């Protein structure tokens, strides 16, 4: 079990872990802190709490779609995939817009950049 909190509270993260562990103990077959059968995570942010049993590792940043939607002008170079990645990492769902000025050469380069990007 792991608890994290942000904001001002009259209790610590350890207090939450002890209270929840005590409440769940009677429903368990025992406790193995080194190799638990299930992990429980709690995040407390001000007056809200979030309870989950799985963490999915990502590149860091904010959850996708938490900051709205953007349109990215996407080319076959390195700048546009990097810029798109950076705004997505900040939580923006991003559509790609590609304008071909030298088809098929730039189209192939864009597809290669997009493939390595995603």
| Reduced 3-state DSSP string for 59-104 | CCCCCCCCCCEEEEECCCCCHHHHHHHHHHHCCCEEEEECCCCCCC
Task: Please indicate, yes or no, whether the overall pTM of this predicted structure exceeds 0.85.
Answer: no
Query: Can you tell me the distance from the alpha carbon of 21 to that of 43, in angstroms, rounded to the nearest whole number?
Result: 15
Contact criterion met (CB below 8 Å) for 82 and 114: no
Q: What is the mean pLDDT of residues 71-76?
A: 84
Instruction: Determine the pLDDT at residue 28.
Output: 85
In the chain, % of residues over pLDDT 70: 97
Q: 29: phi > 0 → left, psi -120 to 50 → alpha, else beta; which?
A: alpha
């Amino acid at each position: 079990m792991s608890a994290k909190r942000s904001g001002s509270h009259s209790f610590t993260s350890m207090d939450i872990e002890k209270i929840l562990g005590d409440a769940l103990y009677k429903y368990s077959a025992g406790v193995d802190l080194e190799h638990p059968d299930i992990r429980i995570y709690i995040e407390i942010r001000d007056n809200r709490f979030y309870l989950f049993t799985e963490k999915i590792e990502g590149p860091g940043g904010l959850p996708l779609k938490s900051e709205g939607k953007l349109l990215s002008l996407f080319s076959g170079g390195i700048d546009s995939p990097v810029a798109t990645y950076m705004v997505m990492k900040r939580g923006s769902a991003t559509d790609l817009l590609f304008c071909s000025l030298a088809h098929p050469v730039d189209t192939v380069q864009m597809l290669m950049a997009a493939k390595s990007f995603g």
